[in-house]
Amino acid sequence: MSIADSLDLDLASPINLGPTRFVDNYRNFNSVLDLVFMYPNNTGFNKHTLNPNIHLPSNHVPLIIDVGIKKENIDITIQVIKKDSKEEEAFIKDVIKNVRHIDISDLKSQEDIQRYITLLTMAFKDAWSIHFTTKHIIKYSKE
């Protein structure tokens, strides 16, 4: 939620509510596992659909949305950590190291839990600030 908030994104609801993950064990329940975060002023906000009829062989339902491509020039700078990169590996190691140093032995109140959540958030932010790279995206970028 912290990342979504920092990017001014909101949780979007599908047009047709329902589970996004189907279980193959009758003792468990189908659940909502897959979420969509978007800019609330986007024309597609709260307009994506779930297609439960085509989830096999995966147990996840496809989330479908129309994405308009603007003709105008795109010019944006973003922070990324490339998937399967050395930076991602280092980021994960740092997050694990940071989280291991958080003492959770004395959680007794809501304030203690909130303090823990703040420390957990900082563990991710600190690791992110070390390992992200800045990318400049323009209309003709391939990524």
Strand partners, 11: 37
Q: How confident is the model at residue 70 (pLDDT cuts 50, 70, 90)?
A: low
Question: Given pLDDT bands bounded at 50, 70 and 90, which one contains residue 129?
Answer: very high
Q: How many CB atoms lie within 10 A of CB 54?
A: 9
- Per residue in 15-58, pLDDT (tens digit) is 787 777 777 767 777 776 667 788 788 777 877 777 777 766 77
Residue 17, CB-side half-sphere exposure with 13 Å CA sphere = 2
Amino acid symbol at 28: N
